[in-house]
Chains A and B, each alone.
Chain A
Amino acid sequence: MIKSFKKNIKGILIEGLTLSSALLIIAIVVVMVTVIVIGGKDQISWEFLTSFPEDGMTKGGIFPAIYGTALLVIIMSVAAVPFGTITAIYLTEYAKENSVIAKTIRFAVRTLAVIPSIIYGLFGLGFFIKFVGTQMDNTFLGGQLKWGQPNILWASLTMALLTLPVVIVSVEEALKTVPKDLRAASLALGATKWQTIWKVVIPGSISGIMTGTILAVSRGAGEVAPILFTGVAYYVATLPSSLSDQFMVLGYHIYVMTTQSANVDKTMPIQFGTTLVLLALTFILNISAIVLRYRIRKKKTN
């Protein structure tokens, strides 16, 4: 009797312990969101979102940061989504399942996914800016310094590398939900392999491609380390109008404002407001991706 009582106590304790861990994590998330919402909600207004910062960031809005973030992720997606999708297509449609090539590529993708984001920044600096950029300057501009320095193009490409694994994994997952016998049916009708991929497999995986893109955009909008020295700036007077311009982004804005602004009291509301905007943005993107992925998985089990 006592033994089973003890066992029960143990059971309750363990279940309680694990439950509290889960609840604690949820609580942390809730607290974080609440704090940011409370601190920033008063800041949010149409003017805040559409005007430029003034007075050393103590007044005005964050429009250039929003614009810069948007531009960054657009260029990034243009680079990352096609490459990622094509790589995923290779892995599921062309490579033999357990071939050395497939395994190596998958290992490479997983490794890319865990490399710290700051390393991508270093690569962006060492490769894009100092290698490709200076070569471009030497070849096309006779040594004049234009591309061999930080700008939005290099920053976007650096970010594209960072988010490439995300795209590949999402698209691969979606490609696998297209049943094998659909491919067989297409081939049996006299279609070529590429026709089958283009007309049957890809249309059937659009949602996966979208999920991958959304997740990539979400990361690209929030990561700061890769662009610290590849193109971002704290204050640029004009919006970036060419690929060789520097730009502002929400994440970097938050970082600099909170660690280096001269007048903390005056800028604190703006800090919270900017953080809220960034958080809201990533939230919306992530939720859309989660919903999409849920639909994909449902389709698979059907």
Chain B
Amino acid sequence: MTKKNQKGKPSKSSDSGLIDITRKKFRWSDYLAEKVIKGTAFLSITIIVLIFFFVFRESLPIFYSAKSTEQTETAGNASSVQETYGEVTDKPAAPEVQETYGEVTDQSNTQEQYGEVKDTSAPADSVEKAYTVSAGSGFDDNRSALKSLLTKDWVPVSEKPRYGILSLIIGTFKITIISILFAAPLAILAALYTASFAGKRLKEIIKPTIELLAGFPSVVIGFFALMVLATFLQEIFHYETRLNSFVGGIAMGIAAIPIIFTITEDALTAVPKTFNEASLALGASKWQTAFLVILPAATPGIFAAVLLGIGRVFGETMIALMATGNAAMMDLNPFTSVRTLAATIGAEMAEVVFGDTHYNVLFLIGSLLFIFTFILNAIAEFYVKGKLMKRIQGK
């Protein structure tokens, strides 16, 4: 009989004896490998949960007054909630808070940061006037912060900070609409061409180009927009403010084209070939087939593509920081500067005091962005799956 080795080494079969199969062997490497692999795979789920948790966590404080001292609406409520908060690491004693506020005074020096772009739009800087140097004047009141959320003045650095995100939301929507109006038709039509009309040669030019565009860092697109596109568009449309939501929107549209194109193209090519053949066999021409049969059949996928394009633009930071003028205006004119939600986080987070109300509000904005894109993605997935299934299996 063959000798069995320990520690999971498979037994060698000797020449004369028969192989012994009757003892189940425990193989360490297999066991370990399986455990490690399974554990690691759950990481991606864990990460999402963690992101959710930690981003929200930092925004929670404004939902109850952890450190109110000013006259206006003092705390007194939500104290029960405080216990469940867990580690109260950012519930500093009063003196500590004061120290950090000392740093805040330096904000006066860094205010140029908020001014962002040089060649802006003088009128757009109405917000700057509201910036007063806050030399340790008073404590932030989280409840008033909460109340001010739905107002339109985003003035986080001032004697009476106001966190009105309405202008930011409007700005974000303005830009999103402009960019999608620009990018979606372009990308969808181009995808239609690639899927239905293009010869092999042209396909091999178009698709790699789109992939390259997808690889463009947003900083580079923002740079292009700031340096070239803004001037170019200003020559054509003759608007006053050089950097505005129109420029930013076009630039973001450029960034969104690849994703809308790719998903639309996938949707179009996923339409069963039999549809194509049936239509042609009935005497329809190529374009009729493409436009009247294939395109409608791919609608769920195209819808998903646009949704994902919206998601991409909604959260885009660098292009917004570089090409939109960064002034929180609240009008519907595409040719005025805007400030988006993402840009606000990007611009201000580095300067903010940890644990400050401003800090919390920025995290709140981040949470909103997270939820929004999450929902967008979920709709894209489930809607597409649902509708697609129905179509392919027959209504």
Contacts and interface: CB of A to CB of B under 8 A. Distances in A.
Interface of A: 7, 10-11, 14-15, 17-19, 21-22, 24-26, 28-29, 32, 35-36, 39, 83, 86-87, 89-91, 93-95, 104-105, 107-112, 114-123, 125-127, 130-131, 134, 161, 164-165, 168, 190, 192-195, 197-198, 218, 221-225, 228-229, 251-252, 254-255, 258-260, 264, 271-272, 275, 278-279, 282-283, 285-287, 290
B318 A218 contact: no
B363 interface: yes
A225 B318 contact: yes
A93 B378 CA distance: 26
Contacts of B345: 118, 121-122
Contact of B228 (A35, A119, A123, A221): A35
A87 B30 contact: no
Given A29-B212, A36-B224, A114-B311, A278 B219 contact: yes
28 contacts: A7-B285, A18-B193, A21-B187, A22-B189, A22-B202, A25-B206, A83-B43, A86-B40, A108-B48, A109-B44, A110-B377, A112-B47, A114-B311, A115-B51, A116-B311, A116-B370, A117-B317, A119-B370, A120-B51, A125-B58, A125-B349, A130-B354, A165-B44, A194-B29, A225-B346, A260-B113, A278-B219, A282-B220
Given A21-B187, A83-B40, A279-B216, 20 more contacts: A15-B197, A18-B192, A21-B189, A25-B190, A25-B206, A25-B209, A36-B224, A87-B43, A95-B41, A114-B311, A115-B370, A116-B342, A116-B373, A161-B47, A195-B30, A223-B218, A224-B318, A255-B222, A255-B318, A260-B113
Query: Closest 8 A-B residue pairs measured CB to CB?
Result: A116-B315, A222-B217, A90-B41, A18-B193, A21-B189, A286-B215, A22-B190, A11-B287
Contacts, number: 271
Q: Chain B at the A interface: mostly helix, strand, loop or mixed? A: helix
B206 A22 contact: yes
B321 interface: yes
Contacts of A39: 227
Nearest to A256: B113
B27 interface: yes
A168 B40 CA distance: 12
Interface in B173-191: 185-187, 189-190
A108 B44 contact: yes
B193 A19 contact: yes
B215 A168 contact: no
Interface in B366-395: 366, 369-370, 373-374, 376-378, 381
Contact of A25 (B257, B287, B317, B321): B257
Contact of A118 (B47, B227, B315): B315
A258 B227 contact: yes
Interface of B: 10, 27, 29-30, 33-34, 36-38, 40-45, 47-48, 50-51, 54-55, 57-58, 89, 112-113, 116-118, 185-187, 189-190, 192-194, 196-198, 202, 205-206, 208-224, 226-228, 254, 257, 261, 285-288, 290-291, 308, 311-312, 314-318, 321-322, 342, 345-346, 349-350, 354, 362-363, 366, 369-370, 373-374, 376-378, 381
Contact of B197 (A19, A121, A229): A19
A279 B224 CA distance: 11
Q: Which of A17, A111, A223 has the most CB of B within 10 A?
A: A111
Contacts of A7: 285, 288
B377 A114 contact: yes
A87 to B, nearest CB: 5
Contact of B45 (A83, A104, A131): A104
B67 to A, nearest CB: 17
B189 A251 contact: no
Q: Which of B116, B192, B288 has the most CB of A within 10 A?
A: B192
Contacts of B370: 115-116, 119
Contacts of A32: 216, 220-221, 224, 254
Contact of A119 (B55, B222, B224, B350): B55
A191 B45 CA distance: 31
B313 to A, nearest CB: 10
B317 A116 contact: yes
Given A126-B55, A225-B318, A290-B208, A22 B194 contact: yes
Given A114-B312, A259-B322, A25 B373 contact: no
A221 B217 CA distance: 8
B171 to A, nearest CB: 15
A108 B186 CA distance: 30
B44 A126 contact: no
